[in-house]
Amino acid sequence: MSLPLFTPPQDYPRLKVVGSFEELVMTQMRDGINALCWPRMLPGDFGEIVEKLGVGKGITSLDEERLLALELSNEGRVAREVLLQDQELLRARELQPSLDCINGYANDIEPDLLRTDVQSWHVDSATVEADTYLCTYFGAASEGLRNEEAMRRVDVPELRAELRQLYGGGDDVGFRDFLNENYLDLHYKPLPHALPFSFGLGHLWRIATLYPESPVPPCIHRAPATLPGQPPRLLLIS
């Protein structure tokens, strides 16, 4: 099964499309570019892998042993080899990829004021220079949002006032620490004119995170909303 060709989101100058894994990992993010995508048409039947796994609700991490134990058709075996090869590519760069089959999320969605789940628009953060790699092989794909079309939720005046009240007053430093310790300053609210875009299936992305002295803004993204009857997702992330 071949995946559709990649169509870059329109009017998104922060995205750079690359032609190889080597270019994906070696390209420096600068001049405002905070997302790199290596578009691919992958062979194999990833849906068969998801079906044979038969996972329950929640997130199931998959190791090589479990993948190799699956009885698969020729197309399923081709897809499995892709999954193993992608992880090996990332490990060779001293990264730590995780392959997950996601069949919904165990936690309830939090109220908008305190929402920090992965289905909320957010950026990843790190204490040192780091990027996030991800690829959706099957199911609903991850989504992105242009930085210019979003505002941190803690900067929305009415939400900030509510958070101030919840914090209970105090100085500005303590309030900032409260927001940071609870990851509230990493989540965003789309502006009314925002046009989210899909990361697509099979494409390997590298997106910028928030870390000290980063030369570019972090990439805003989210896991897709979980809908009734939706098949599980097969996701690689590092």
- pLDDT averaged per 10 residues in sequence order, the chain, 238 residues: 54 88 95 95 96 87 94 97 97 95 71 81 95 96 94 90 80 84 91 92 97 96 83 95
Give the pLDDT confidence score for residue 6 in this predicted structure: 62
Give the pLDDT confidence score for residue 3 in this predicted structure: 41
- Residue 42 has, within 13 A of its CA and on its CB side, a CA count of 26
pTM of the model: 0.90
3-state secondary structure of 143: strand
Give the pLDDT confidence score for residue 162 in this predicted structure: 84
The residues facing 103 across adjacent strands are 58
Phi and psi based region of residue 236 (left: phi greater than 0; alpha: psi -120 to 50; beta: remaining): beta
Q: Are 175 and 164 in contact (CB under 8 A)?
A: yes
107: number of Cβ within 10 Å: 8
